[in-house]
Amino acid sequence: MTRTLACLALAAVLGAAPLALTTPDAMAAGKKATKICKHKTASGRIKTWRCRKDQPCCAAEWINYYTCGSKLLGCL
């Protein structure tokens, strides 16, 4: 039981380490490199998500799938 708790605590610390090491300048640069994608669904709701500037916004409403595409393949 204690081994399991120790492993969970270690995983939590290691998982949060990249967030603590990220500087505010790096986070601001990351926000500039993204775009906001919007798509109006058939029910009238507006779905919003973020993609990198070089990725296309992909929406497959019939399967309720909204994601970012790739530069090479686009929206498959």
Q: Is 29 helix (H, G, I), strand (E, B) or coil?
A: helix
Single pTM value for the model:
0.54
Q: Would you write out the chain's pLDDT as a tens digit for each of its 76 residues? A: 666 555 555 566 556 545 444 555 555 555 579 999 999 988 899 999 999 999 999 999 899 899 999 989 999 8
Please report, for the chain, how many H helices and E strands are present, in that order: 2, 4
Contact (Cβ atoms closer than 8 angstroms) between residue 15 and residue 23: no
